[in-house]
């Protein structure tokens, strides 16, 4: 099945990966290594799974975290690492939308074979006297692109703020959206350093506000866009001059380098209005796997990545999970 048109036509493949079957509630990101391997997470627990481009499972290892919600790949001194944002809570189908009784948000850095090499805890600032800490994503101002190694952590499910650390993990500052004209973040779900232009920028998926805010890499507000076309921006990926934004409410948006929408892929926004979405409810109101999953239409895109051949990989948020590959034609 093909989706898209004009210069953006893709073959839809939701069976490309040999994912171990699970009734766990998938809620994770994914990324791609320089060699082209796809790194994702198990649906039931925070176990990292690495697949080759043909979907063969190459390796898996336990992170020791509650959830591998945001997964960011970086390269330092010719070695690749993963930054993982653990929001500290895991949804389970048998208890519906309630979280289990343990909670500890955390950010950690790993080698690709699972060695934990660095941890970042929440900053000791007044906001956490009244707010939980539930980080959702990490972005790095990478030195290989001329950056200083700063680490940006978005507390999307907690204080609705974003914290900046130096490359050694020392806290520097916090932004919350009030720095510019747009106003306070509401679920700053994902964060991304965009290196397509000479002046690199920080893109923030201000999801519950239905927009993207853009800052410079010193934390200064630059602009806001998307209220007129976004529903729920959740994640970013770039290749060449385009940016692809995953919208949790069931589609991808392709943007040009000037933040203008070029195309929507797999649009299925109406599914997000169904009771129990991203899953369904039975006659007793219990959460059950969705019976509305369709090829060629998204249900709940959560994280994404693009490989060097412009193929797009998407991880969806739902019981059982769904890893989709859009093959560029």
Segment 47-65 shows an average pLDDT of: 95
* pTM check: above 0.85: yes
**Domain residue limits at 186:** 2-328
pLDDT at 21: 82
Segment 159-170 shows an average pLDDT of: 97
Degrees, nearest 5: CA angle 59-40-90: 115
Domain containing 178 — which CATH number? Answer: 2.120.10.30
Closest CA to 66 of 34, 25, 38: 25
Task: Check pLDDT > 90 for residue 162.
Answer: yes
pLDDT at 95: 66
Q: How many domains does the chain have?
A: 1
% of the chain surpassing 70 pLDDT? 97
Task: Check pLDDT > 70 for residue 96.
Answer: no
How does residue 286 score in pLDDT terms, banded at 50, 70 and 90? confident
Distances in Å between the alpha carbon of 302 and those of 7, 219, 251, 305, 322? 24, 25, 10, 11, 10
pLDDT at 104: 78
**Lowest pLDDT segment from 44-58, 81-95, 110-124, 145-159:** 81-95
């Amino acid at each position: 099945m093909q989706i898209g048109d004009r210069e953006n036509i893709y073959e839809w493949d939701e069976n490309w990966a040999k994912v171990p079957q699970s009734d766990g509630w998938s809620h994770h990101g994914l990324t791609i290594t320089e060699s082209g391997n796809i790194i994702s997470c198990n649906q039931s627990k925070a176990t990292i799974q690495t697949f080759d481009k043909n979907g063969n499972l190459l390796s898996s290892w336990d992170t020791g975290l509650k959830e591998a919600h945001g997964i960011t790949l970086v390269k330092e001194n010719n070695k690749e690492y993963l930054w993982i944002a653990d929001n500290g809570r895991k949804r389970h189908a048998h208890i519906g939308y309630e979280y289990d009784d343990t909670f500890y948000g955390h950010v950690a850095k790993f080698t690709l074979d699972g060695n934990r090499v660095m941890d970042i805890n929440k900053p000791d600032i007044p906001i956490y006297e009244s707010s939980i800490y539930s980080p959702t994503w990490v972005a790095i101002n990478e030195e290989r692109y001329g950056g200083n190694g700063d680490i940006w952590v978005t507390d999307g499910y907690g204080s609705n703020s974003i914290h900046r650390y130096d490359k050694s993990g020392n806290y520097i500052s916090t932004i919350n959206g009030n720095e510019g004209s747009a106003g306070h973040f509401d679920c700053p779900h994902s964060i991304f350093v965009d290196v397509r232009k000479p002046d690199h920028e920080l893109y923030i998926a201000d999801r519950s506000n239905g927009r993207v805010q853009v800052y410079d890499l010193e934390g200064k507000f630059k602009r806001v866009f998307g209220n007129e076309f976004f529903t729920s921006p959740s994640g970013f990926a770039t290749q060449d001059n385009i940016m692809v934004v995953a919208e949790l409410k069931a589609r991808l948006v392709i943007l040009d380098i000037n933040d203008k929408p070029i195309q929507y892929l797999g649009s299925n926004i109406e599914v997000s209005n169904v009771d129990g979405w991203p899953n369904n409810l039975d006659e007793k109101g219990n959460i059950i796997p969705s019976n509305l999953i369709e090829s060629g239409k998204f249900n709940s895109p959560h994280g994404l990545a693009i490989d060097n051949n412009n193929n797009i990989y998407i991880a969806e948020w739902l019981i059982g999970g769904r890893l989709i590959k859009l093959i560029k034609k």
